[in-house]
Chains A and B, each alone.
Chain A
């Protein structure tokens, strides 16, 4: 087994790809019986220290419908200078530049270790990156001040030649002109009126009118600067100006009467931002960064009225079909998101408010364009400041960890078709021979657009085996998949990354044990979870849970070892053993449960779940719990209420939160001040250890998690208690008769009960 684990890990490190099955069932029928679809998680821009990009164009298969990129799996005839495409079997001539190749003088893309390779191509003139700040001014003074400072600081993080623009909004929307000297000038728009892109450009004077020739009027001889330059200027030219401008930003001056929300025109502001970039810089990397401190309250895209007495919609309202503005607002933002995606731009949302801000309605803006979504209580928190700063973090080459305007194309062997993808992308509607009719996620295409991505952006891609049962694949046959990601690197270069992977086929009837052994339960859990979350966006929660349960039962029936109707005989092999547990925690996760979460929170959690890589996704499904005690070095412990002991410090990482929990005794010791006494220095170290570990996580994670330091009996402890498996509850505590761990006050079933049921259902001959 270790070999498969190693294989999987190796492949992930090299290619950023992990498949649910690493040996593929060779017929369509058998594949559907595997329950978990053949799918993979792909991290297109996985950071690799050992991958120097090559400076030439990739060689493509000459068949128009194929155009696969030359890769190590292709058969090469070095003498005839021919290569055979491993996808369509077309024989291609090498281009003249490859005349010197031989077995010992191979180009990089033919070497097996370059199954993933990156090309730098020269296409078009490089255009600078664009950052357009869209800033809400209906904030508390303190918040606005903090936000202003963060924005001013961010100017120093941008590359000097990047273009930057500023739009502020409250009751009105102001597009600030950055080029003028002296008097500060802005174009103002009504916050209640949606405008088409054309109107916006007309009103901003971006469409150059045909200059009517008038008599006695000297014609302007000098070349005028590009029209858009009034609103988007290189950072190095106007950073002083912009810093002053940001510094002078005032709170929205329109009076807000008691009992009212400020009028906030987020919908129009975004629309103008999108329209501005659409007209001036289509198809170049651009980030619209929306900073908002509350829900949109007027105009298109309004989420709630300005009366404070009517609260913003809750899940309860939505279920009752009581959310008046939701549909219209969602439609508005969806239209915007699709336009933005079509232009290759992305929208980030930084929402900081105690109440909801309408992320539910606006989520598509970030989801479809690959933008970031960040949710916090206030702009004046390190949560926001650090997260925002981390947007501009750089890799080991000193380049931004962001890429723009990517298209991902997937090519498959003939036995495979593509069902769809789930991730921060939109379909490019590229039909082709390898597109399946059965859609999973965003399907019906073999190309997707990812307007913004970073090294951790991860897509789930689902496949369908189409090989018929009666057309067996010869022994040793391999199926191949090629991922071609074209993108604009943050250095404004165009790059193409090509990853080509292959897996063995196996006959599921005779070689089921091979397939079984090559099952990757971690990635399978994430892939199924993504499907579940994707469904949850459009279906009722209980339906999704039932679907997940059914899948799990079927999987256990297929791969479990048991005697019919004897639950006790049920066994799962090692490669499946953790899978039910993942499903158990997934069922309880905020991705599928909306109870106790606002619609905004659900949207936020789901947003991140649909884009993070495998490790992070697993943490989200099943948080990690570490224990610190005197009895030994820190160790991971079961995410179970029995792990909560009085003499332990626990560190839980749920991706969104980092919780440090002091057991009862530890908390008492700390109150007694033992840590300050020299003779109890070891206690001081014990207290410090989880803090250090937490810091480490806080340093690297994006978005920065909420940091919670709590102790036994405090209200904040709920973050821990709601996550652990409730093996001891108020219902069964006394039956156990001994105190180990901490009972949880819940009626949720525990993992043990869940497993018992699962076993019963799996072995039942009835189902």
Chain B
């Protein structure tokens, strides 16, 4: 039932807007129609009057026809040598003690219904019994990693409020317990397996938080070898680098999805860890992947903790299944995102949170009717954080037009870029990089050429004409082509490319927009007295000036660029140091200084950060110093550091193609 249903025969029948089938109105739903043929309860029922609404699902929509249990979060901490040494384990344990109080809960409830469990592991797995009536937590070691299982049920998943003292006791002890470990090998697939089995045994959906450091080389299923091979770059075999090393991760992902087990993976690598293999389960289960290279507690700690807090507190739906329905004439053909698909219509997600977006590609399979327009309904069935089965429905009705000009007018470039990026990144798995790049360029050219041919007013052939709504398409496409995923250069670590690829796959439109074209704000020009946000400038070196201070953010990183002759009062204000030379590039947080410059800048940073799914780590880049090179990477309109055309060059190239197409 949705607003697209037409009621007829005095409210006794209705016609489905999607398939035009005429149905009887069931007696319990009957309502009279008013003079314009609208039901008299039109505004009382959300499903008749609103585009998006949510049902509490009946038992028929629940697994095994039983109401679901409330979900569980399992924290699985790698306690091998490197994580202990870096102080990460201690950091996590300390943080968990406070952050567990902030688990998401329904508005009307006082405490979260989510249960928590703890596992540590290196070559073997350690489960912890943290039942509230125990004086001390109990540790259970499972060393049969070949066929991992859950050693306990009762006492593994607990309510944090009830077991607070035991859990805190445990979190205090974990860093000490492994303080003199010298185990450097880890397992990975068995860890996920164990988490999944635990959720399965507890008959609930949930999320695993895995904090992992290294390539899993211990003898166990899912053992990975270092297969990073720079020689493959720019060959037909490059795609192998983005594919998982073995099938086990795929089947594991399938099992996880089937049991509503989402995997959030926090990676702390010091070297190659094969993100393509390790991140696969995360990708398919709707989880989030975080990666902190060469993790240092003092510099990367705040970023990691920010991510962890955000991830924990996020509103999430579990064990979700989505279906997209359309009216006749077109149909969904492809789905992109952190999803798993068993068949062509059902989008399965072990979990979906507020930052995950799914891109759907539709194709015509018939003529669309200009009168009735195109209708799309998206229904997501999921389990809420309190363990309630719900059905969320989104409806949208779009106009249809036979005029290409109308079409070009209503185009949204940001959404297009999101789609192009995701489809290109998906294609990497099957096609050589070169082909993908060529396709992107030629598609851009063809779109623009088509406009030129059919809509634009006649003009000189040499003139480049862009539709209004697509003015920025070329610059974005150029940015996409320059993204490290699509640039095959041995200088770029394979893991970094796989990581970015995976991130983009689940991003929404706003995130991709920022990710491909970072926001560059001139700080030296801001008016500290007004609340106005500074106007962003184009990402090009031309815009920088020696006397300026620029702030840049792309959703993953933040950078503060300092010109050599930046105003000293600004430097004093922000960094609380007398001069440019005194500024330390080590810091990742701005000092809290009580003056308008500092306050303003920090409020800008907070604002930008607040809407982003990932915590951004601040880097200080001083002009003419090493760090500036990093900064230049983000000046996407310039010629790329690792190749890639500048915007102007690219525009010329596209123009040439258009001309060719037209002639």
Residues of A within 8 A of B (CB): 172, 174, 177, 182-190, 193, 195, 202-205, 211-212, 214, 217, 220, 248, 253-255
Contact = CB atoms under 8 A, between A and B. Distances in A.
B149 A190 contact: yes
Contact of A211 (B126, B144, B151, B182): B182
A184 B182 contact: no
A254 B153 contact: yes
Nearest to A254: B153
18 contacts: A172-B151, A172-B152, A182-B177, A183-B137, A183-B170, A183-B177, A184-B136, A185-B138, A187-B143, A190-B147, A202-B143, A203-B124, A212-B184, A217-B182, A220-B180, A248-B135, A253-B154, A254-B154
A363 B219 CA distance: 38
A183 B136 contact: yes
A64 to B, nearest CB: 48
A203 B143 contact: yes
A353 B182 CA distance: 46
B567 interface: no
A193 B170 contact: no
B143 A204 contact: yes
B184 A186 contact: no
Contacts of A189: 142, 144
A195 to B, nearest CB: 8
A220 B142 CA distance: 25
B155 A186 contact: no
A630 B141 CA distance: 68
Contacts of A193: 144, 147
B141 A186 contact: yes
Interface centre among A182, A212, A214 (most CB of B within 10 A): A182
B136 A188 contact: no
A190 B141 CA distance: 11
Interface centre among A172, A212, A217 (most CB of B within 10 A): A172
Contacts of B137: 183
A205 B143 CA distance: 9
Interface in B117-172: 124, 126-127, 134-144, 147, 149, 151-155, 170
A663 to B, nearest CB: 55
Given A182-B136, A182-B173, A184-B136, 9 more contacts: A174-B151, A183-B138, A185-B139, A186-B140, A186-B141, A187-B141, A195-B144, A203-B144, A254-B153
A183 B173 contact: yes
Contact of B155 (A182, A204, A211, A253): A253
B580 interface: no
A253 B152 contact: yes
Contacts of B153: 253-255
Nearest to B170: A183
Nearest to A218: B182
Range, interface on chain B: 20 to 34
A205 B170 CA distance: 23
A170 B98 CA distance: 36
B141 A188 contact: yes
A195 B81 CA distance: 29
A517 B402 CA distance: 126
A248 B155 CA distance: 14
A185 B155 contact: no
A184 B139 contact: yes
Nearest to A191: B149
Contacts of A187: 140-143
A261 to B, nearest CB: 18
Given A203-B144, A220-B182, A183 B81 contact: no
Nearest to A184: B138
A266 B137 CA distance: 26
B313 to A, nearest CB: 29
Contacts of B184: 212, 214, 217
A184 B177 CA distance: 11
Nearest to B143: A203
Contact of B140 (A182, A188, A217, A220): A188
A185 B173 contact: no
A183 B147 contact: no
Nearest to A203: B143
Contacts of B155: 253
Contacts of A185: 126, 138-141
A185 B127 CA distance: 10
Contacts of B135: 248
Contact of A217 (B81, B141, B143): B81
A186 B151 CA distance: 10
Interface centre among A185, A188, A193, A204 (most CB of B within 10 A): A188
Contacts of B81: 217
Contact of A174 (B140, B149, B170): B140
A204 B141 CA distance: 9
A446 to B, nearest CB: 43
B165 to A, nearest CB: 14
Nearest to B155: A253
Nearest to A173: B151
Contacts of B140: 174, 185-188
B247 to A, nearest CB: 23
Nearest to B125: A188
A195 B144 CA distance: 10
Contacts of A172: 149, 151-152
Interchain residue pairs A-B with the least CB separation, the first 4: A188-B151, A203-B143, A253-B154, A185-B139
Contacts of B141: 177, 185-188
B571 to A, nearest CB: 38
Nearest to B151: A188
Contacts of A248: 134-135
A188 B127 contact: yes
Interface string B178-195: 001010100000000000
Contact of B138 (A186, A195, A217): A186
Given A214-B184, A220-B182, A190 B143 contact: no
Contacts of B134: 248
B152 to A, nearest CB: 6
A187 B125 CA distance: 10
Contacts of B124: 203, 205
Contacts of B139: 183-186
A168 to B, nearest CB: 11
Contacts of A174: 140, 151
Contacts of B151: 172, 174, 188
Contact of A188 (B142, B147, B177): B142
A188 B140 CA distance: 6
Interface centre among B127, B143, B152, B180 (most CB of A within 10 A): B143
A185 B129 CA distance: 10
Nearest to A172: B151
A295 to B, nearest CB: 22
Nearest to B126: A185
B166 to A, nearest CB: 10
A248 B138 CA distance: 10
A765 to B, nearest CB: 72
Nearest to B140: A188
B616 to A, nearest CB: 31
A692 B10 CA distance: 99
A214 B147 CA distance: 29
Interface centre among A217, A253, A254 (most CB of B within 10 A): A253
Contacts of A195: 144
A10 B153 CA distance: 64
A576 B184 CA distance: 77
A355 B170 CA distance: 41
B142 to A, nearest CB: 5
Contacts of A203: 124, 143-144
Contacts of A205: 124, 143
B138 A190 contact: no
A666 B138 CA distance: 59
Interface centre among B136, B151, B155, B170 (most CB of A within 10 A): B151
A224 to B, nearest CB: 11
A301 to B, nearest CB: 18
Contacts of B182: 211, 217, 220
Contacts of B177: 182-183
